[in-house]
Copies of this chain bind each other. A is one copy, B any other.
Amino acid sequence: MKSEIEIFREFIRKKGLRNTPERETIIEEIFASHDHFDVDELYLRLKSKKKKISKPSIYRLIPYLLESGLIQEAYFEDGHLHYEHIYGHEHHCHLRCLNCGKIIEFEEKYLKKVENRLAEKYDFLVKGHKFEVLGYCPKCKAHI
């Protein structure tokens, strides 16, 4: 299995773009952790490791990471998007509390079949899915 960086280099070459140390640093940092991330948090992580990467460089890289299939939007919360890897890590879905924001991850293998069915029916090249179940967690459902 190719590494994320290899996938990215290939993608960049195919698009006729250029790779840079900044981009490799960002990708390395994203894949160093298995967690979700958002731009600001990623920026601070890089900063704390003394890597001088600007936020615009992160923002400018994200569309390419999405297009290359390395990451995917996970959910929108607290006024900004959160992303997750979809290469090399088990895909998962989210159960989210509408009150406190608590997130529980779970797997649902059946959705892969739904993807395939849709791909065929609508002639889409399906790259993944986002499945969120929304409700109130045990603590919060007591108060509403």
Contact = CB atoms under 8 A, between A and B. Distances in A.
Contacts of A118: 95, 106, 133
Interface of A: 66-67, 72-73, 76, 81, 95, 97-98, 104, 106, 108, 110-111, 114-115, 118-119, 122-138, 141, 144
B108 A124 contact: no
A114 B127 contact: no
Given A124-B136, A128-B134, A138-B124, A67 B144 contact: yes
Contacts of A73: 76
A8 to B, nearest CB: 15
A82 to B, nearest CB: 10
